[in-house]
Structure 1
Amino acid sequence: MREEDIPKDSDDQRGREHNEAIQKTMNKVKEVKDLQKKGYSIRKIADETGYTKRTIKNYLSTNFNPVHGQYGVQRTGKLSPFRNEVVALRSKGTTYKEIYTYICIKGYTGTEAAIRQFIAKEKRLQSDLEDEITDGPTEIVARKWLVKLLYKPLNKVKAISLEQVKNVVQKYPLVGTLLRLVWRFKEILQSGDKELLHAWVSEAAALDLNELTSFLNGIKKDIDAVENACTLPYNNGLAEGSVNKLKTIKRIMYGRNSFELLRNKLLLLESRKFN
């Protein structure tokens, strides 16, 4: 890639989060300075905003910089002096063990695993660069945000947008299928229609994914209970809550009591509910 082709402003997820953090800090700085202009003392500003006196003094300093001094700084490691040699040797087909032995003679004190991780990262960077050159700029969406979509609706996951999800699904259709299946399963549990459950099981089984297959086998083994969860208005939440409370009390008293004492304590706590 030529120098002039490098984007001046990278709009990736990490960059946006960094810019948002800076903006939030600057809003706080403005708030503090506005209060000072009104004649507020540092102590009164602290009472008004909840910031510490030290933070307020930093915000009021003429040398204050919202950007962390270490942001964007790449720290050198044990492998840094040998990186070019490692890349050159690996490109010639030299094994990791041979590379490790060679650079150890020259003073390397790290591990062979670090060399493997470095080469793996270089391959990813090269692959991303090739994709960017051929297909245009790309954006990396962290897997953790996609995982959160399995548990929360999109409007509750602030770190990912609808457009990003659409782009991911367009490139990886299976992700869209899995998200749709998970959301559909939640709807079925509240639908009161067990026939929808069986249709969902058949649809999920058709994907032939090991993780889904394991989950489906569990459903089939206890299908009566799962059907009841779909059709009946009550559940075992009360029993599970009581068991959880019992386990919590047991852990608090672990190693310092007998079964009889644990029993009496639990019964005493229960009796106080009705007093």
Structure 2
Amino acid sequence: MNLHGRATGRALLSDADNITAAGSLLKSRLAHRTSREEIFTTIHALRNQGLSCSEIGRRTGFPRRSIAKWLQFETPPDRRRAALKPTSPWYFEPFLSKSWKDGIRTGSALFRLIRERGYEGSQTHLQRLLAGWRRAEKQASDPKVAHEILKPVRDPETGHAISPVIAAALCIKPRGKLTPDQARKVDALKTGSPAFVTMRSLAMRFNGILRGREADPLPAWIDNAIETDLAPLVRFARTLNRDFDAVKNAIETPWSNGQAEGQINRLKTLKRAMYGRAGPELLRVRMLPFRHTN
């Protein structure tokens, strides 16, 4: 089942529980590797026919120097990789691997540990590394997870498939505000979609953090959201993590830019409604307060 956010059509739950972009990236790299091997074999076969490097270059379209270099190897040469620096979490891979095996698996805890050891990068880069480890463990424990296709969830009373828009709205609506019909649909979605259960649980927790005006549980929520491997949740959690200080202030302080944003929206609405019909004097009258004397 797919869940889409509002009218944008952006999927909240994908058919295969959000097979992430890392899987596609790995496939593309393997395909590129296979292509390099085929080119390498072709070059050596042409060389065995007695052709020169220039002639091989004309037939294959590759530079003569590249062909001459490849002919010096018996297997396709690996690309040179830049030396790891403290800005990369892979620089601390041995320490991270040991901590991971010791049971320290939250991104925030590992981030603090490697920062003490000189890590200069961001927590987002670290989370990407950890996400790959989590996916590898999940696929090793259950190889069928990546290929599971979820069927549409149907309303048990009407038999109709629950639309993505309705499912997305129900995902963020508290149980106490659900009508009997909506509660029935939520129960059906929980039964038919494990991903919906995870997403709704995290949505309710996030709602509690916002309404409780306490930002202390937020780091744990971000780590749990990233561990789900649900692409939209992972994106949202990483965005929160990048602007963590701003999000924390928004949760804990009473200040808001809502008034300024509301006035901007009001002004734009007035301009669009009056475009081509009136001048700045009427716009001034409609825009400024009634008793404005300036």
Q: TM-score, normalised by structure 2?
A: 0.40
Which structure features the higher share of helix residues?
1
Q: TM-score, normalised by structure 1?
A: 0.43
